[in-house]
Structure 1
Amino acid sequence: MTMQSTVSTIDARWKLDLSTSWDVLGPFPIHAREQQYISPSFPINLSEPIDLNRSWPSSYADGGRVKWTTMHSHTNGDLEVAFPNIRWKSLRSTEGWAALQHHAVLRTTLTVYPPKDPDPQEVPHLLVNLVQGSYITVIPAGSVERARYLPEWHAGNIYNLERSLPRAINLPSPPSLIHPTTYNVIVSGDYEIRLFGDPNIQGTDIPVQRITLTIALETPFITPVLEPSQDVVCDFVDGWAFGNALGVGIRSISHWWTVESISTDNAKGIQLTLQHQSRLAPTQTRIIPILLSQDRTYEEPKIPIRLTLTSKDRTITVSTFLTIRHLSGWSASTYDTIKATYFFGISTPTAFKVIPPIYQSPNFTVPILALHGAGVDIIDMPFWSDSLARNKHSWIIIPTGRTSWGLDWHGPSATDAWSTIDSLFHILAHRGNWNMWKIAKNSRAVIMGHSNGGQGAWYLASRYPDKAIGVIPAAGYIKSQSYVPLTMSRSAHFIDPALRAILEASLTPDDNDLYLSNLVDTPILAIHGGDDENVPVWHTREASGIIQAYSKDADLVLREDPRQGHWYHTILNNVQVDEFLDRVLDSPEGRMSKHFTLTILVPGEAGSLHGWMINSLAVPGRLGRLHISINVTGIRVITSNVHAFSVDTRLNECTSLHIDNSMISFPPIFDDTLYFEDTGAQTWQVGMLLVIIRNEGDHEGQPPCRLQQILASSGPLVFIIPDLKPSRELTIASRIVHDLQLYHRLDAEIFAESEASSILEGPSWHHSNIIFIGSPSSDLASNILGKRKTSFGIKDSRLILDGRALGEMDEAALFLHPHPAHTADKIMLFILSAGHDPYALERAARLFPIRTGVVGTSWLLVGRYAESIGAAGITGAGIWGRDWTFDRASSWLI
């Protein structure tokens, strides 16, 4: 490796050189999300010496083998990874975009230089910013040290997300205080169409990964530092805050700190209160949640803030300020796009934007929810809001979806979108002179979006059809597996088809095509450019055709603009869109067909259709459907995989109701909502106060069918580890916490097992999902699992599942579990090394659900072979039964 280098200094006493010469091995076929399962260094075993002369099998290369090559980065850290000797055009001719997906492993060196008189207590750590690379690790350069070292893989900022902070990484071994110390830097580079685009559009057949890596040093100071890029503040309109949530970004460098209190000086008319105390782990960044209230207008340009922090017996005060953008009130002729804030869940400060209507309306008007595309930062980029025409009577609400990518408008991103509507209601209702512009409480919405936002519009409308009075999906894709097929999957060559079927069931909640039956009565204007180079136009054609297969009379118009690409300025700004909005906003009541079908998979992430709602499935993880027919004699319902459902009688005149094999007799008096439960053999019973979700033991609620549900937490996610000393569990928790903040702006706290034992049964964590990381020797894990709420247990410090002892094959387990505080809508996730193996724990940690498209059922066992064959190395997977039971039909064990 030729040693060219860039020099970076943060601490004047320590220096580092990051080589600009890279050894690169690849390309290897992979599908878009396999890098979570396969070792990021695949096919290299980092515990062995790296042989730069060795070749490796790859079906992309002529002759079936690839060798190491040398590539060079620029001094600013930019690196282009390309393989021009691969016949990409030939591969693409048969496999399409899927053939461009590939993995490469990259290696360079990092050298740390000590100062003349080093302080052994001030050894720096690294601040690493990896953009559009999937993983990075820093390992010792010496073969003896490397053989004993277990790499810690840190996720990169693969989406190049906005306002990202560098990741703190400890050096794998202390640097010499006398001589320079060299380390190996290993990066996993993975090409995805959604990240880098179609190379043909750039005038080439060769896909190119564009990765940026910068590394600096940071001395572990005791005092936390402010991170202004993470601050959250709303605009003030005529002196009044457009929201009640503020946030101050703060990062701990090396100690445990707690933000105890807040005060402000010289801010007359403003009151600031901490939503809760916030604890920071070493290297953790949190946005401190501050409740803002006013009793008079505030015209100052800044809000001064003073935070008090404690760490053991040390107390400090940190002073800062939030800069305010002051706006004048809007009118028919003038307006600004307004930045509003609210608390996501119960305590996470979150911004969104709104465009006020031109005119006041005597009645409540329905807002328009406008979902941005992937990579569009609505906070600092005016592009999206400038693309939307101001509406005559309706507010346009522009949510972030947590970040510019978020979770593709699913999960927390969907929650964020709906929450902004309620937040706007409260903002307008709270201020007297804004009341004339207010929207209804629990308002429905028109949902529109472009690209990923178009896909999000399909998603939100089809999962919550009664909330959508109309939909305008533009250039949206149906689902990720259709966008770029999984054709080149490595694991597909090794996996048992039965296991694959169970794993892929965890993607079903995201498959928009399966839920389009819910939109047969929803007005839809589907738009797509005829020559879209990013999302092929067939996606919108197919979605439209599916809806028409359910109802030839569906209120759907497909607008295909010839010779237009993915984005053009008139895609959402044209006469047809304006007329569609006028029609649905003027008549929001909609229609009800005589025959319709409600389809859901996750009851907790779905709403009603014409007042009909599925509350519980007979078999979780499988689609549930209600086929409803209405005629003059009554209503007929045919159910499929439904255990319990309800109907709003205000929307449905239930004079006669026949459900499967049951003719329903109504009570003489009943509430607005009637509940029905299957008592066996599709025989149904009804009652006004019927408990439709079975109460098994002390826990209520149908178990989720996939790991991703752990992100649905109202309060900060709580991580529990054995203790707070430096450990494998602490670094894993810290890495995941960083990812949650980066990818989703989700808040989290880390606690020791000894602390958690006294808190779990109390009310403090009732709003929080909990993640435990450790081993079966844990007393806390043994205590919780000993209650046998699921089929996992611990015996003789060994993890068992359905009577089988685990751990013989370096296994680790990830499984969802009822919340220990018996909170119905909250859950717990265990990440356990079944056999006390840190390698296994590392493998399991990479499967924590950060990105969409990663398979992960409600419980998983992952073995060591996953490092080389991906999901085929899963040794067990399944979906819990309705009462958290082991369901053999939905499970697979090796």
Structure 2
Amino acid sequence: MLIVTHCFTSCRSVFFGLIGLSVARLTTTLQTQRQVAMNVPMVTESDGWTVYLSREWEVLGPFPIHAREQHFLSPSFPLNLSEPIDLDRTWPSSYVDGGSVGWSKACAGKDGLIEVSYPAVRWASLRATEGWAALQHHSVLRSTLIVHPPSRSHSLSEPQLLVNLFQGSFFTILPSPDAVGEAVIPEWHAGNIYALGKAPPNALKLPHPPSLDSPTTYQIVVSGDYEIRLFGDPRSILGTEVPKLSVTLAVDVQDSASTVIRDESHDVVGDFVGGWAFGNAVGIGLRSLGSWWTVTGATVSTGISENLTVSLLEKQRIGPTQTRVIPVVLIQTSPVYLDELEIILRLESGDAESEVFVTIPLLHHPQWSADSVPAGGIKATFFYGTSMPSAFLVLPPEEPRNVPLPPILALHGAGVDIFHSDRFWIKALPRQQHSWLIAPAGRTEWGLDWHGSSTQDAWSAVEALCDILASREEWNRWSLAPKTKVLVMGHSNGGQGAWYVAARYPDRVVGVVPAAAYIKSQAYVPWVQSRSAHYVDPSLRAILDSSLTPDDNDLFLSNLAATPILAIHGGNDDNVPVWHTRALISTLKTWNPHANVTFREDSEERHWYPDVFKNDEVAAFVSSTLSGQDAGASIRTFTLTVAVPSDSGSLHGWSIYRLGIPGRLGRLTVNINPDGISVETSNIGAFSYRPESLPKDVKNAPFLVDGQRIELDEATWDQPNFSLALVQEKGVWTPHALFDVATTSLTGRISNLLSSTSPITIVVPNRLPSPESSAALRIAHNLNVYHKLDVGIIDADEADRAVRDGSLASGNLVVLSYGKLRGFAASLLSKSATPFGVDGTTLRLRSRSLTAPSTGVLFLHPHPTNPEALALVIYGTDVSGLERALRLFPIRTGVTVPDWIVVGSQADARGTGGVQSAGVWGNDWSWNEAMSAF
């Protein structure tokens, strides 16, 4: 039995779980967002084309699934959409009495809201043994679209659909079941599963052209996946044991016009303080409706101000349906007090030229002081990754200080838009007397859970503030120290992020205040209901799961054994259970029973409460930590733990640069005493240390590494900022100058691709409509929605020329191909830089040719021109294989894809049980037998 309700308020209030807002306030915020973005009628019209979305839905489910497993399973599981859908058939499901489920009916509300629950399932019984894991489930939703052609007085160009899917994972448009012709391979588009703001719609072509004389019917299929992190615990949110899936779907139609339009939601502009921009980066959101456009220049409107000009940071090409944020640099010669900024952008498309006139409102503040500061902080801007306009919030200290104190880096919870009109997050933090408060965006409201690119964003915000304060003489006395350390603070997902950032970069952190933090995704909701687990080889599963190791905060607590920590948790937290913080502290004290860690458990409080950070205990801890009172004596015994060396910093001056077997943890244990320095390594290939960081009483003491005595030149001890590297070569540790050590490996998992030093470039065979072009635009769309990462798309000829003349963009690269390997993809692989290669036009992994139908392949590869960047090859033996590979592109945390993976059609029903082989590269891109399933 399936019940559909229309309780509008309950739909989004479940986001309360990880964002630290009141249910009432959050519901109001999301209702407003939906009214703006989603409140459209079921019939929409554009240039004569009309689309009708049926409010009647067929629903199939529930099926057990663990978080992110839907990226391996077919989004239409258990259906095979290449076959007609049988509405009378049943499918096995372990959640229902009798063990099988069939189709039920549902009806969408006028605003497109579809709410699905299964009250006949004995959820309380399942939960009694499986906990929250039993509530996670998958459903398939199916309805119809009818497209009516325009009258003859209108354009008869083929329309495209604009689809907004909130809190659904994937959707596809298919021909009518009655359509005659070849079976269509579903083209899956990712939904906005986190309901992120500032997200452009999915723009897509219909699977076949609609009739110009009569209505044409299509099917729409949605993958609906209930995750606790998205919808919350129904017992506490809805007062029931029955989980409720809530997705919202809106469909619009527009002509495929050769036009560029504004997307104001993507604009980035900082506040002005005393007439000066707090950061010179400006971003302007543009979307192309149907052709390739290049932005070639930017100027301010005539007569605005002779004291302010702008320039285009670099040319930007926008693909059909793509949204990009155009980077513009502000140049000021004196203060300005304009209410708005008017900019003209120049564009070209072939022989066509155009101009876009942009008006951006400006917000002004007076110079801050001890008694005067904007309640919602100051919005600052910078160019993330060299050219991506980005913003963050800051709260100035009450007083400047001759010797700057470390700032507080405050990480928000999941779903929090720090720039929302009420600027809730910055207001929840206590202003400091001498320290800046820095609230980074983390790319988006969820980002990458403060891992990878979100961590980069946080550190970039710190560096940007340092640069901004140095840019004006009147701000200099409020400046930060170069390469300043920070105190990390965060709530919920941000609390988890505080543990993460501090444990990966311990020498850059003076203290940590994590509140309501969870340990890691697998601990938040266990994977005991995994469908894949019934099929996958455990040794293969271990290799796949190694891609999650870098995110497992409990494994890296040795790095914080001497760091001052005040951990906070509500004792009645029904979103992130309090045992998470208790377990983290217990683990930390196993490493160091005398660890400087304090646990504040507020027994009656739930997930968020107003004084979580604004209380005397937090104030005292922060004050003493920032002033250095908790620094303690020199640390003489410690263990540094690393999973991916390129994502890790030093501990007490010691760094790990290379692992013995990549994919496994590496640990370096150091014991320093007057009798000598003893180092024990576990899975370490190369490490370094700074002699000047060692206590003076061991200057001439013996230095042992794994029992081997290392003879050092005494002069190295007195060199400032000098680091000495030791490399294991054939079982012997050999000293090297640090610059002689090979570049730290960037590999370990495919999600490393998201940590790009500049915009990601996607290479397609050509810019004509094709499966690869569609894939490129979908990747670009997903990176925009989930991470606000910029993407440029070029064709294979452009890529070849750029490699030859050295002009290829320095950021990470994605190469798309299917079928026979030709052009740029073939030339890249012909160099045999990894065990993947090309045999004629066939992809080969070592001695095996990959030719089986419906096979998808993803693997990291050296960037052709930049040794500090990555390339990712996404390949399908055919179009269905390419589609399967695309779903594994890790736009979210928790998707288990290591450095390379080969997946076949069995994954549609068996999840990771359909993975044919996978692995982690060895050092220097070599074959890693210990971490490969082949």
Match of 1:664 in 2: 710
CA distance in 2, matches of 1:146, 1:195: 39
Going from structure 1 to structure 2, the CA distance change for 1:287 and 1:268 (only over 3 Å counts) comes to same
Matches within 5 A, 1:839-850: 839-850=880-891
1:798 aligns to 2:842 (yes or no): yes
Going from structure 1 to structure 2, the CA distance change for 1:251 and 1:575 (only over 3 Å counts) comes to same
Match of 1:629 in 2: 671
1:362 aligns to 2:405 (yes or no): no
Match of 2:448 in 1: 407
Going from structure 1 to structure 2, the CA distance change for 1:766 and 1:426 (only over 3 Å counts) comes to same
1:328 aligns to 2:374 (yes or no): no
Residue number among 88, 92, 104 corresponding to 2:123 in the alignment: 88
Kindly state the Cα deviation for residue 688 of structure 1 after the two structures are TM-superposed: 3.1
Residues 261-314 of structure 1 deviation map (CA, whole Å, 9 limit, x = unaligned): 111132321121211100000000000011112110011111111111001111
CA distance in 2, matches of 1:239, 1:10: 45
CA distance in 2, matches of 1:440, 1:309: 42
Residue number among 377, 381, 385 corresponding to 1:345 in the alignment: 385
1:230 aligns to 2:276 (yes or no): no
CA distance in 1, matches of 2:627, 2:726: 38
1:117 aligns to 2:160 (yes or no): no
CA distance in 2, matches of 1:47, 1:118: 38
Match of 1:14 in 2: 49
Match of 1:696 in 2: none
Structure 1, gaps ≥5 residues long: 694-699
Match of 1:392 in 2: 433
Worse-superposed segment, 705-714 or 674-683: 674-683
C-alpha root-mean-square deviation of aligned residues, in Å? Answer: 1.5
Kindly state the Cα deviation for residue 71 of structure 1 after the two structures are TM-superposed: 0.8
Residue number among 305, 312, 325 corresponding to 1:267 in the alignment: 305
Worse-superposed segment, 633-642 or 722-731: 633-642
The one-letter code of the counterpart of 2:251 is I
Going from structure 1 to structure 2, the CA distance change for 1:466 and 1:82 (only over 3 Å counts) comes to same
Residue number among 514, 517, 531 corresponding to 1:473 in the alignment: 514
CA distance in 2, matches of 1:250, 1:741: 12
CA distance in 2, matches of 1:546, 1:577: 22
1:562 aligns to 2:606 (yes or no): no
1:304 aligns to 2:342 (yes or no): yes
Kindly state the Cα deviation for residue 28 of structure 1 after the two structures are TM-superposed: 0.2
Going from structure 1 to structure 2, the CA distance change for 1:6 and 1:70 (only over 3 Å counts) comes to farther
Residues 788-826 of structure 1 deviation map (CA, whole Å, 9 limit, x = unaligned): 1101111121111111111135322100001111x2220
Matches within 5 A, 1:178-217: 178-201=213-236, 202-217=238-253
Residue number among 708, 711, 728 corresponding to 2:754 in the alignment: 711
Worse-superposed segment, 765-774 or 655-664: 655-664
Kindly state the Cα deviation for residue 238 of structure 1 after the two structures are TM-superposed: 0.7
Going from structure 1 to structure 2, the CA distance change for 1:677 and 1:766 (only over 3 Å counts) comes to farther
CA distance in 2, matches of 1:373, 1:761: 45
How many residues are paired up?
881
Match of 2:644 in 1: 602
Match of 1:760 in 2: 803
Match of 1:464 in 2: 505
Structure 2, gaps ≥5 residues long: 3-39
Residues 189-246 of structure 1 deviation map (CA, whole Å, 9 limit, x = unaligned): 0000000000001200000011100111111221200111110000000100000110
Q: What is the SS of the residue equivalent to 1:9?
A: strand
Going from structure 1 to structure 2, the CA distance change for 1:118 and 1:743 (only over 3 Å counts) comes to farther
Q: TM-score, normalised by structure 2?
A: 0.93
Going from structure 1 to structure 2, the CA distance change for 1:769 and 1:812 (only over 3 Å counts) comes to same
Are the aligned partners of 1:104 and 1:189 in contact in 2 as well (CA < 8 Å)? yes
Match of 2:328 in 1: 290
Match of 2:547 in 1: 506
CA distance in 1, matches of 2:81, 2:181: 7
Match of 2:352 in 1: 314
Match of 2:34 in 1: none
Are the aligned partners of 1:718 and 1:769 in contact in 2 as well (CA < 8 Å)? yes
Kindly state the Cα deviation for residue 633 of structure 1 after the two structures are TM-superposed: 2.0
CA distance in 1, matches of 2:269, 2:633: 41
The one-letter code of the counterpart of 1:818 is P
Kindly state the Cα deviation for residue 483 of structure 1 after the two structures are TM-superposed: 0.3
Match of 1:697 in 2: none
1:680 aligns to 2:680 (yes or no): no
CA distance in 2, matches of 1:796, 1:13: 50
User: Percent of aligned pairs with the same residue?
Assistant: 47
Match of 1:616 in 2: 658
Are the aligned partners of 2:816 and 2:825 in contact in 1 as well (CA < 8 Å)? no
Are the aligned partners of 2:269 and 2:282 in contact in 1 as well (CA < 8 Å)? yes
Going from structure 1 to structure 2, the CA distance change for 1:888 and 1:687 (only over 3 Å counts) comes to closer
Residues 494-521 of structure 1 deviation map (CA, whole Å, 9 limit, x = unaligned): 0111110100011001000000000011
1:128 aligns to 2:163 (yes or no): yes
Going from structure 1 to structure 2, the CA distance change for 1:179 and 1:462 (only over 3 Å counts) comes to same
1:721 aligns to 2:755 (yes or no): no
Residue number among 106, 110, 114 corresponding to 2:141 in the alignment: 106
Going from structure 1 to structure 2, the CA distance change for 1:591 and 1:313 (only over 3 Å counts) comes to farther
Are the aligned partners of 1:880 and 1:887 in contact in 2 as well (CA < 8 Å)? yes
Match of 1:154 in 2: 189
The one-letter code of the counterpart of 2:842 is R
Q: What is the SS of the residue equivalent to 1:573?
A: coil
Residue number among 751, 772, 779 corresponding to 2:823 in the alignment: 779
The one-letter code of the counterpart of 1:710 is L
Matches within 5 A, 1:49-68: 49-68=84-103
Residues 508-559 of structure 1 deviation map (CA, whole Å, 9 limit, x = unaligned): 0100000000001100000000010000000000000111001111100011
Q: What is the SS of the residue equivalent to 1:104?
A: strand
CA distance in 2, matches of 1:338, 1:762: 43
Residues 589-645 of structure 1 deviation map (CA, whole Å, 9 limit, x = unaligned): 554332110000111100000011101111111111110001112211111111111
CA distance in 2, matches of 1:231, 1:245: 11
Match of 1:519 in 2: 560
Going from structure 1 to structure 2, the CA distance change for 1:282 and 1:730 (only over 3 Å counts) comes to same
Are the aligned partners of 2:746 and 2:752 in contact in 1 as well (CA < 8 Å)? no
Going from structure 1 to structure 2, the CA distance change for 1:11 and 1:820 (only over 3 Å counts) comes to same
Kindly state the Cα deviation for residue 386 of structure 1 after the two structures are TM-superposed: 1.3
CA distance in 1, matches of 2:299, 2:852: 56
Are the aligned partners of 2:413 and 2:490 in contact in 1 as well (CA < 8 Å)? yes
Going from structure 1 to structure 2, the CA distance change for 1:739 and 1:591 (only over 3 Å counts) comes to farther
Q: TM-score, normalised by structure 1?
A: 0.97
Going from structure 1 to structure 2, the CA distance change for 1:241 and 1:105 (only over 3 Å counts) comes to same
Worse-superposed segment, 220-229 or 600-609: 220-229
Worse-superposed segment, 789-798 or 575-584: 789-798
Going from structure 1 to structure 2, the CA distance change for 1:480 and 1:284 (only over 3 Å counts) comes to same
Q: What is the SS of the residue equivalent to 1:719?
A: strand
Kindly state the Cα deviation for residue 702 of structure 1 after the two structures are TM-superposed: 1.8
The one-letter code of the counterpart of 1:363 is V
Kindly state the Cα deviation for residue 51 of structure 1 after the two structures are TM-superposed: 1.0
1:550 aligns to 2:605 (yes or no): no
Q: What is the SS of the residue equivalent to 1:268?
A: coil
Kindly state the Cα deviation for residue 61 of structure 1 after the two structures are TM-superposed: 0.4
Are the aligned partners of 1:458 and 1:473 in contact in 2 as well (CA < 8 Å)? yes
Are the aligned partners of 1:112 and 1:180 in contact in 2 as well (CA < 8 Å)? yes
The one-letter code of the counterpart of 2:360 is L
Are the aligned partners of 2:45 and 2:51 in contact in 1 as well (CA < 8 Å)? no
Residue number among 596, 617, 623 corresponding to 1:582 in the alignment: 623
Are the aligned partners of 1:267 and 1:303 in contact in 2 as well (CA < 8 Å)? no
Q: What is the SS of the residue equivalent to 1:669?
A: helix
Going from structure 1 to structure 2, the CA distance change for 1:506 and 1:246 (only over 3 Å counts) comes to same
